[in-house]
Structure 1
């Protein structure tokens, strides 16, 4: 799959939506009246990504997210269990995270497939795999694949899930997208492969064979300092893109790492190493031109 446009977008946790709405109007004339933060975040990355592009009406949308619509889900649960009342219809409807991918497709006037993908800690990678399969089958000719998540607001949840200190990581909100086609002409990069491994040694061996002299490595949040050190010793001693330390973290931040590297990163290729909830290693390789 060849990358023809990218849009890495992150921001500090947002409470008031007016700023996002105002910024979004600079890129699109799409009318968005009753939308929530998750939908706005989803829309923030897309117009930037396709700005100036003449995309087709059959463009597929793969919106990947770890948590979906956290804000409205919290509101609905509060209304039910704290206020002992029925949830407000608008809040209740928007707890369906697939609503966001519908809005994205609608803003693009796309009649193609629109899918929301979630897979514990490797949602973006799984979304890319689905798009890759559809390209290989000839089902689609254009696709937008993005990672969208609100900042995690629960310290207890963060520490339990990632076994990491809440204070050691800057939590941000993000919406990073890639515009993909099977055509190389005019491309700025390529998603070369995505592999899943049960064992570390197999993953390291494959990544070492895939790496070149100017390959940059990046690691997901479940890769502990000890894990990273093993990879450095066995697989690479070159450059590393620590996007979490440099820019902050949201749960589909791999999308930000890939889009940022292709847009402005050093080196000619990136290998991103992540782990899922089952302890498997998910390795993504991409190139920039």
Structure 2
């Protein structure tokens, strides 16, 4: 799996109008009533593949830990009010249909999906994309992790307190073609425990995020674990362009 381009947006909480304006410079599809989560997803994905020639058989794999929480919160508040009426665009917004919007913007006819997981959401999406690419299910893959800031929620109710204060849309574009690639994912392995992983890789320290590793100048391993002690190890080879 050869990575050709990456994009990373991690910014303090921005109003939805900011992302609407940014997205208008990249595509013309109508997302006027889309929620912030969908706008972040489409903007990040399109930013990642600028100046790339894409196959129509493009696989889109969008990972998220929280999904469109703001739309869900709005719907719950509306239905719990006496004589409350759910606003139609809030109701539509609770569906994780961001990958459909990305496919529409890119005229892609390959598979697209949104994967939600509290832990290892990006790694699991990347693992699935890697499998599909290696088995010729798709010709290119666009893999991303998207989550909107949870600043609108009281910090004591946020899953990670003040660590959810940022808007995030991080993506990579990859295929099987080595030409002009910036990095290669050599393998992705799962381990049921720390001990099982150490039998293969020995003692490993804390690693940086996957996207940070792609901007270093050396080969490296990305190691991540979930709350049950399962590990995923991604072996990355840097390539000279």
Determine if the TM-score, normalized by the shorter chain, exceeds 0.5: yes
Q: Structure 2 vs 1, CA of residues 273 and 157 (structure 1 numbering), >3 Å: closer, same or farther?
A: farther
Q: In the alignment, does 2:140 pair up with 1:142?
A: yes
Between structures 1 and 2, the one with greater strand share: 2
Mapped contact 1:30–1:107 kept (Cα < 8 A): yes
Structure 2: unaligned runs, 5 residues or longer = none
Q: In the alignment, does 2:204 pair up with 1:235?
A: yes
Deviation string, structure 1 residues 220-239 (Cα, Å, up to 9, x no partner): xxxxxxxxxxxxxx335xx9
- 1: CA distance between counterparts of 2:157 and 2:224? 19
- 1: CA distance between counterparts of 2:126 and 2:164? 26
- 2: CA distance between counterparts of 1:90 and 1:194? 39
Q: Structure 2 vs 1, CA of residues 8 and 69 (structure 1 numbering), >3 Å: closer, same or farther?
A: same
Task: Indicate the residue corresponding to 1:95 in structure 2.
Answer: 94
Question: How much does 1:85 deviate?
Answer: 1.4
Task: Indicate the residue corresponding to 2:125 in structure 1.
Answer: 127
Deviation string, structure 1 residues 214-269 (Cα, Å, up to 9, x no partner): xxxxxxxxxxxxxxxxxxxx335xx953xxxxxxxxxxxxxxx323432xx23312
- 1: CA distance between counterparts of 2:170 and 2:201? 24
Structure 1: unaligned runs, 5 residues or longer = 209-233, 242-256
**Helix, strand or coil: the match of 2:201?**
helix
Task: Indicate the residue corresponding to 1:192 in structure 2.
Answer: 186
- 2: CA distance between counterparts of 1:116 and 1:157? 24
Q: In the alignment, does 2:225 pair up with 1:275?
A: yes
**Helix, strand or coil: the match of 1:8?**
strand
RMSD, aligned α-carbons = 2.1
Equivalenced residue count is: 237
Question: How much does 1:100 deviate?
Answer: 0.7
Task: Indicate the residue corresponding to 1:173 in structure 2.
Answer: 167
Mapped contact 2:207–2:223 kept (Cα < 8 A): no
Mapped contact 2:207–2:221 kept (Cα < 8 A): no
- 1: CA distance between counterparts of 2:147 and 2:33? 19
Question: How much does 1:272 deviate?
Answer: 2.3
Mapped contact 2:149–2:164 kept (Cα < 8 A): no
Task: Indicate the residue corresponding to 1:212 in structure 2.
Answer: none
Mapped contact 1:207–1:271 kept (Cα < 8 A): no
Task: Indicate the residue corresponding to 1:259 in structure 2.
Answer: 211
- Larger mean CA deviation between 190-199 and 30-39 belongs to 190-199
Question: How much does 1:271 deviate?
Answer: 2.1
- 1: CA distance between counterparts of 2:66 and 2:164? 18
Question: How much does 1:171 deviate?
Answer: 2.8
Task: Indicate the residue corresponding to 2:115 in structure 1.
Answer: 117
Task: Indicate the residue corresponding to 1:156 in structure 2.
Answer: 156
Between structures 1 and 2, the one with greater helix share: 1
Deviation string, structure 1 residues 115-139 (Cα, Å, up to 9, x no partner): 1112331111111111111122211
